[in-house]
Amino acid sequence: MNGGAVNLLEVDDLVKHFPIQEGAVLRRTVGQVRAVDGVSLTLAPGETLGLVGETGCGKSTLARCIAGLHPVTSGKVTFDGQDITNLSRSAMRPFRRDIQVMFQDPYGSLNPRRRVGSIIADPLVIHGVGTAKERRRAVAELMERVGLNPEHYNRFPAEFSGGQRQRIGVARALALKPRLIICDEPVSALDVSIQAQILNLLKDLQDDFGLTYLFIAHDLSVVRHVSDRIAVMYLGRVAELAEADELYDHPRHPYSDALLSATAVADPDVADRRGRVVLTGDVPSPIDPPSGCRFHPRCPRAQEVCSVREPVLEGAAHLTACHFPIGPGEGAPR
Ligand code: SF4
């Protein structure tokens, strides 16, 4: 550990392009999918950063690059003061204990033919932690901590509900006592009532273990109550980044405003008062993103310059990449 590091995680101008290749024998690259195209962000110890955007905006690819599951095209990932960009498998191994990923699908991410106790114990086995007896005890404690009955150690995933399966995923992610957990849409596949239980569990665990979360979701309402700050991504770039309440109350980027206006509101009076910004057109392809501001073909505030000049993400605490950001009193009513 580097005690001098202020941020636990720093991502600097990260780019991840996937080549598109043609030809059965002589493969040649004919284009690039620009999944992540110059993203910078930081995470302080104990902080939760929500990362939000529509499907295909690059948020999951970014998460995988940070976790070392994808090599990056360019840019830098620093964890606890150490450069972990494109490390070899063996060099990355010590960091894998500290950086865990929790996936979206509690059904697909658990092997249906294995007992949950051994699934949760996997990280301990892989990293050679403890004896078999110690691992069994550790798994029982983890199951209890995440709200599962340790007596269900020998059951199979199919014997658990969706929410319980996500608790299994949480227990597995916690097994190595990580410092950073990348939660990749951890509640998207769950009913709303179950979502709240898992979100509360993650919050409790954060308080108990001092965890740092990168929390990915496509729905702004999911991340609001768990995030300290929120970054909104659009087509491989960060469009806006601010404290959670500030972003909800005063969104400056038209894309954030549109996402917020589509967010479900529990109070019907508020829902009635609220206007709705309807985005027109499809999300453009990351193979050939629009010139200038990538959001300009769908933006209700776009002007001529928007299709020519790309806006820079700028600001002090509230960063926005927009030539004509929304000012106080503008935007969808809330
Ligand atoms: Fe809309 Fe222009 Fe701002 Fe892009 S730069 S979000 S097109 S107003």
Mean predicted lDDT score pLDDT of the chain:
90
The answer to whether position 157 is within a domain reads: yes
CA of 255 to the centre of ligand 1 (A): 9
As a dihedral over the C-alpha atoms of residue 175, residue 179, residue 184, residue 189, rounded to 10 degrees, the angle is 50
The answer to whether position 212 is within a domain reads: no
The answer to whether position 295 is within a domain reads: no
pLDDT digits (tens, 9 = 90+) for 200-254: 999 999 999 999 999 999 888 888 889 999 999 999 999 999 999 999 999 999 9
Tokens of 283: 């999300």
Q: Kindly give the pairing relationship between strand 229-234 and strand 237-243.
A: antiparallel
pLDDT digits (tens, 9 = 90+) for 173-185: 999 999 999 999 8
Residue where the block lists tokens 């110690």: 134
- Please give the average per-residue pLDDT across 1-30, as a whole number: 84
pLDDT: is 52 or 28 the higher one?
Answer: 52
Q: In 3-state terms, what secondary structure has residue 48?
A: strand
Which atom of ligand 1 is closest in space to residue 323's alpha carbon? 5
Which region among 24-28, 88-92, 125-129 has the lowest average model confidence (pLDDT)? 24-28
The answer to whether position 235 is within a domain reads: no
E-state strands within 123-173: none
Q: Cβ < 6 Å from ligand 1: which residues?
A: 253-254, 293, 295-296, 299, 301-302, 306, 311, 322-324
The answer to whether position 150 is within a domain reads: yes
Looking at this protein, which amino acid is placed at residue 105? Answer: D
The answer to whether position 141 is within a domain reads: yes
CA 56 to chain centre: 13
The answer to whether position 208 is within a domain reads: no
The answer to whether position 241 is within a domain reads: no
Q: Total domain count for the chain? A: 1
Structural domain range at position 120: 111-174
CA distance 73 to 96: 20
Q: Kindly give the pairing relationship between strand 28-43 and strand 9-22.
A: antiparallel
Which atom of ligand 1 is closest in space to residue 253's alpha carbon? 6
Tokens of 31: 């284009």
